Amino acid sequence: DAGITQSPRHKVTETGTPVTLRCHQTENHRYMYWYRQDPGHGLRLIHYSYGVKDTDKGEVSDGYSVSRSKTEDFLLTLESATSSQTSVYFCAIKIDSYTEAFFGQGTRLTVV
């Protein structure tokens, strides 16, 4: 277990509502990532962070924002959820630039 907790693990929300997913780590790792996993698309990078308040966009960042005010927490926000954002969301952490990433258990989000 890499010391990563994603919350909530499951969520159903309505179209147009804001949603925030939380990734919490106990490892004090510098790098944190948010991915979404969809059938036929594999894992796609949404946003990532390389330090407190240092974030950057990934492949599919439209409709998502992130914040990292503390080393241990990386928040992913859907400002106005759409059905196309129904997915499984994974958070990952990485010790250094060249190391592998370790993943959380995932959050299944359904937008109805």
Partner 1 sequence: AQKVTQAQTEISVVEKEDVTLDCVYETRDTTYYLFWYKQPPSGELVFLIRRNSFDEQNEISGRYSWNFQKSTSSFNFTITASQVVDSAVYFCALRGRDDKIIFGKGTRLHILP
Contacts to partner 1 by CB under 8 A: 31, 33, 35, 40-45, 48, 50, 56, 58-59, 88, 90, 92, 94, 97-103, 105-106
Nearer to partner 1, 17 or 38 (CB): 38
Is there a contact between 101 and 2 (Cβ–Cβ < 8 Å)?
Answer: no
Kindly tell me which of 2 and 75 has the beta carbon lying closer to partner 1: 2
DSSP string, 24-37: EESS--SEEEEEEE
Q: How far is the CB of 88 from partner 1 (least distance, A)?
A: 8
Contact between 76 and 21 under an 8 Å Cβ cutoff? The reply is yes
Nearer to partner 1, 19 or 93 (CB): 93
The pair of structure tokens assigned to 52 is: 């407190």
Q: Which is nearer to partner 1, 14 or 100 (CB)?
A: 100
Euclidean distance between CA atoms 85 and 102, whole angstroms: 23
Closest distance of CB 63 from partner 1, Å? 19
Cβ 41 to partner 1, closest distance in Å? 6
Contact 32, 23 (CB under 8 A): yes
